[in-house]
Amino acid sequence: MPLTIGTKAPAFSLPATDGREISLDGLKGRKVVLYFYPKDDTSGCTLEAQNFQALRNEFAAAGTEIIGVSPDPLKSHDKFRAKYGLDFALASDEAKTMLNAYGVWVEKSMYGRRYMGVERTTVLIDREGNIAQVWNKVKVPGHALEVLKAAKSLGE
Structure letter (DSSP) for residue 42 = S
Q: Is 20 a catalytic residue?
A: no
Question: What are the b/e assignments for 114-124, b being 16+ CB within 10 Å?
Answer: eeebbbbbbbb
Selecting among 27, 45, 131, 138, the annotated active-site residue is 45
Range list of H helices, 29-142? 43-54, 56-61, 74-84, 97-101
Alpha-carbon gap, residue 116 to 100, rounded angstroms: 11
Backbone Cα Rg of the chain: 14
The residues that are catalytic are: 45
